[in-house]
Amino acid sequence: MNRFKSALNSRIAGKIAAGLTVVVAGAYIVPRATSETEHVNKVLDQVLMAADTSSPGWDLANIDHARVDSWVSKFTTSPKLKPQFAIWLERKTKYEPMISAKLSARDMPQDLIYLAMIESGFNPTARSPKAAGGLWQFISETGQRYGLTVNRRLDERNHPDKATDAALAYLSDLHDRFGSWYLAAAAYNTGENRVGRLMRQVTGQEKGTDADYYRIADLLPRETREYVPMMIAAARIAKEPAKHGFGAEEEIAMAE
């Protein structure tokens, strides 16, 4: 892996890396015929992931995909979604210090904050049609499993600090199981058993790489199929808001 990284720093290796990207893209289309092919695909995925995570200001893989581009476009041009995203950006400033500190304490990627962004828009009292609640949109059962009190008198899913502790503990467990933060995010959204079953079906094992998310994506429910692309799109915009038409005072005023 060190040889790959050293080579990628040279001009010649830059051309090689571009060629590898094309090959990796082809791997999603051409059926895997042998275990040897599977091994090659895994190696190429690791090369691609190393390049992605080296993007300045990123600690999750900034994976290019048409679904990511589509969500960037929706969040930045839709008359309904753009003002909504502006509100999310404004709320982010309130909760980011707390979430960032807890991520650092657990040595988890800072970019996981964008999971909360797409889950609730940083609204600690958000409620979904499926009765998920709070900043991290826990259903009652999962919230209670991770130490939150959820009853008629008290719902700690709506407590940003406690809900964040529970969410990060859950995500950490999911990452331990699947070996990838994007597979963990998919499992967070749709359930770990479903992701585990699909990973075994498609790759032969539960643990995988971030690229494996796209290998199973078409078999996931529609909401989960868009989940990681939404996270990456939200991160791209939030990291460079002015570039995407956000940040000006008039934009925030329009959102309110």
Name the nearest CA neighbour of 149 among 135, 132, 163: 163
Is the pLDDT score of 201 beyond 90? yes
22-45 pLDDT tens trace: 333 333 333 343 344 454 444 444
CATH class held by domain 63-255: mainly alpha
84-114 pLDDT tens trace: 999 999 999 999 999 999 999 999 999 999 9
Handedness of CA 127, 131, 137, 143 (dihedral sign): positive
Which of residues 133 and 44 earns the better pLDDT score? Answer: 133
Task: Report the pLDDT value the prediction gives residue 247, as an integer from 0 to 100.
Answer: 76
Q: Where in the chain are the domains?
A: 1-54, 63-255
Nearest 10 degrees: Cα torsion 62, 64, 68, 72 = 80
Clarify whether 119 is annotated catalytic. yes
59-72 pLDDT tens trace: 999 999 999 999 99
Q: What is the tally of helices (H) and strands (E) in the chain?
A: 14, 0
208-223 pLDDT tens trace: 999 999 999 999 999 9
Model pTM score: 0.77
Q: Report how far residue 184's alpha carbon sits from residue 192's, in angstroms, rounded to the nearest whole number.
A: 8
158-179 pLDDT tens trace: 999 999 999 999 999 999 999 9
Task: Report the pLDDT value the prediction gives residue 248, as an integer from 0 to 100.
Answer: 57
Which residues contact residue 66 at a Cβ distance below 8 angstroms, ignoring those fewer than 6 apart? none
Q: Is-contact 102 119, C-beta < 8 A?
A: no
Average pLDDT over residues 104-133: 95
Q: Which residue has the tokens 């199973």?
A: 216
Is the pLDDT score of 118 beyond 90? yes
Q: Report how far residue 186's alpha carbon sits from residue 194's, in angstroms, rounded to the nearest whole number.
A: 9
Q: Report how far residue 142's alpha carbon sits from residue 246's, in angstroms, rounded to the nearest whole number.
A: 35
Average pLDDT value over all residues in the chain: 82
DSSP state of 33: -
Helix (H) / strand (E) containing 229: helix 227-239
- CA distances to 3, 28, 41, 172, 210 from 14, in Å: 13, 22, 19, 34, 22
From 38, 119, 156, 192, the catalytic residue: 119
